[in-house]
Structure formats: structure tokens, C-alpha cells
């Protein structure tokens, strides 16, 4: 998020740990979010679940940041709305993707965003990335190929391809945020509120189109305790808690330290999928997961 960060080197060990722990918890809940979304969503309820998930969040954000929203300029509203449109595409791809693949695959494939973003930035700025980074990118891509080949060398599933497109969409979102000048000085809370509000509008419009799945109120009425618990987990912890922790942490430590901790998300996705979801990677999948994690970690260090 946008703020002037205090260098982490200046923090006492105890204070650094107290700041790092909530950020690490964000990575944990984000990693578990793929399994939670998979557990409560089907191919016919994707848009409805997205409406419910973010419909619970946006009113809270509006109430918390109403002054900042009133201070936004017309150009900032337009820029944030465009980012919201891209964000809606990300969540649609991710949610449809996780329905059609394992939570483990979803979390590991989406981590390729950390590789795609510097590559895309290099293409835009015409500045060649370091050779070490290119090697890390190749390692990560090889890992994804192995990861999606559970029982042998077969075509990746539709869900795997959707998650790959979601990683590309996340990359586009990051680049747009960096290059749309109007939003760079906008308040973080207001910018996030407008983006999520725009995304909810897109989900609601899609849900109203005949043939796109069940209506949100129908899905909500059919939810039991487990489904509502999963939805509240996605809304409260994976969205509200995660957003406010990032805003709080980046003002107390360095953005790079926050990014490094959040980069452990795919580890937790794999752990949740295997420990709680009963998923199995197989020998090739396990090797692919190791390569993805090693490649993304190496790539982050290469461009640090």
C-alpha cells in the first residue's frame, strides 16, 4: 500500500516480530482462501458467491473511509473504476479456476505473478531484467508444467489455465496501478473501496444475466453453517483483515519485508490443500511445487 515506510532495520527484534506476525497471518489466510472458495463454490454459483463475499465487505469499507471517498477527484474515480474492472476479471478467473483445479495448484500457479510482473515491467520500460531473474522465471515455468501433470504428461486442466490467466491479470492490475497517474496520490482505503465496489457491480450484473448461474439470494438461502462460515472467512479475514493489516504494517516496516512475508502464500495454499483438503501432488507434482517456490523466491531476490 502507499505510505512512507519505516525501514525494518530500525525496529527492535520484539517490535519487528509483533509487526511480522499479523502479516504472516495474512499470508496464511490467503493461502487457505483457495480451499475455502473451492469448498463453498460450484461452477453454477461463482458470480453469486462473489457478490455475497464482497457485498459484505464494501459497506464496511465505505463507512470507514467515507471522508476519503468524498475527497477523490473525478480522474481518481475513473482510474479506480478501471482498476475495479480489472480486479473483477481477476476474481472471476481465480474463482472459476479454483473450482476446476486443486487448491494446491491454484495457490502455486497464482504465485507466478511475482515472476510475470517484473517481466511485463521490463517489456514496457525496455529494460532487460537480470539474467538471474530470467533463470528463475524459467525454473518457475518448468515447475508449473510439472505441477499440472499429476499422473503423467497430459494437457493442463481448464482450472490450471484459468489460474494462469488470473496470474497474468494480476500482473496487468499491478502495472495499471503503477502507470495510471490519477490514482497514485489517492488514499489507499478509498482506492480499494472504489475498486471493490466496481467489482461487485460487475459480479451483480453478470449474476442478473440469464444462464450465468444461481442468483445470490438463492445461493445464500441454501447455505448451511459450513458454507456461511467459509463465506465469512473469505469476507472478514481474507479481505477486511488482510487489507487493514497491510495498511497498518507498511507504516511500521518496509514494503519489501511485507512483500517477502506475503510471498509465503503459496506455501500455505499447498499446506491447506494437502492437510485439510486431502489433495495429493504425486512425485512430479511435488517436484513442480518445489521448483515454483524456488523460482519465485529466487526471482524476488534477483530484482530486489
- Helix 242-250 with 13-40: angle, nearest 10 deg: 160
Cα 288 from Cα 282, distance rounded (Å): 10
Blockwise average pLDDT, block size 10, the chain, 304 residues: 36 63 89 93 95 95 92 93 94 95 87 84 84 86 76 70 93 87 84 93 94 92 95 94 81 66 79 83 82 81 69
Per-residue model confidence as pLDDT tens digits over 181-226: 888 888 888 988 999 999 999 999 999 998 888 999 999 999 999 9
Are 274 and 280 a contacting pair, CB within 8 Å?
Answer: yes
pLDDT of residue 143: 84
pLDDT of residue 4: 31
Cα 19 from Cα 7, distance rounded (Å): 12
Using alpha carbons, select from 106, 99, 301 the residue that is nearest to residue 213: 99
Are 65 and 189 a contacting pair, CB within 8 Å?
Answer: yes
pLDDT of residue 1: 33
pLDDT of residue 10: 47
pLDDT of residue 304: 61
- Helix 74-99 with 158-179: angle, nearest 10 deg: 160
Task: Write the CB contacts of 287 (distance below 8 Å, at least 6 apart in sequence).
Answer: 143, 146
The b/e string for 221-241 (b: 16+ C-beta within 10 A; e otherwise) is eebeeebeebbebbbebbbeb
Specify the pTM.
Answer: 0.84
Cell 465505505 belongs to which residue? 62
Cα 263 from Cα 94, distance rounded (Å): 17
pLDDT of residue 75: 93
pLDDT of residue 198: 95
Are 46 and 95 a contacting pair, CB within 8 Å?
Answer: yes
Question: Rounded to the nearest 5°, which phi and psi values hold at 223?
Answer: -70, 140
Amino acid at each position: 500500500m502507499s505510505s512512507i515506510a519505516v525501514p525494518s532495520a530500525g525496529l527492535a527484534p520484539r517490535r519487528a516480530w509483533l509487526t511480522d506476525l499479523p502479516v504472516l497471518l495474512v499470508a496464511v489466510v490467503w493461502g487457505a482462501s483457495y480451499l475455502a472458495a473451492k469448498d463453498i463454490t460450484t461452477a453454477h454459483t461463482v458470480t453469486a458467491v462473489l457478490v455475497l463475499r464482497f457485498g459484505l465487505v464494501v459497506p464496511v469499507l465505505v463507512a470507514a473511509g467515507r471522508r476519503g471517498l468524498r475527497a477523490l477527484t473525478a480522474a481518481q474515480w475513473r482510474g479506480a473504476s478501471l482498476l475495479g474492472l480489472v480486479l473483477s476479471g481477476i476474481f472471476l478467473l481465480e474463482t472459476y479456476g479454483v473450482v476446476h483445479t486443486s487448491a494446491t495448484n491454484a495457490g502455486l500457479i497464482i504465485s507466478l505473478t511475482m515472476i510475470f510482473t517484473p517481466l511485463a515491467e521490463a517489456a514496457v520500460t525496455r529494460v532487460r531484467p537480470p539474467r538471474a531473474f530470467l533463470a528463475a522465471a524459467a525454473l518457475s515455468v518448468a515447475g508449473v508444467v510439472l505441477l499440472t501433470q499429476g499422473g503423467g504428461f497430459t494437457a493442463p486442466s481448464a482450472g490450471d489455465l484459468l489460474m494462469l490467466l488470473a496470474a497474468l491479470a494480476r500482473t496487468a492490475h499491478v502495472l495499471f496501478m503503477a502507470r495510471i497517474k490519477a490514482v497514485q496520490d489517492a488514499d489507499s482505503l478509498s482506492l480499494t473501496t472504489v475498486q471493490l465496489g466496481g467489482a461487485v457491480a460487475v459480479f451483480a450484473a453478470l449474476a442478473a444475466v440469464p444462464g450465468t448461474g444461481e442468483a445470490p439470494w438463492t445461493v445464500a438461502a441454501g447455505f448451511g453453517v459450513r458454507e456461511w462460515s467459509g463465506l465469512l472467512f473469505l469476507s472478514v479475514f481474507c479481505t477486511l483483515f488482510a487489507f487493514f493489516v497491510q495498511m497498518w504494517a507498511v507504516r511500521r516496516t518496509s514494503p519489501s519485508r511485507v512483500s517477502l512475508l506475503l510471498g509465503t502464500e503459496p506455501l500455505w495454499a499447498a499446506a491447506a490443500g494437502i492437510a485439510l483438503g486431502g489433495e495429493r501432488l504425486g512425485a512430479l507434482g511435488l517436484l513442480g511445487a518445489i521448483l515454483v517456490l524456488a523460482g519465485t523466491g529466487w526471482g524476488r531476490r534477483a530484482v530486489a
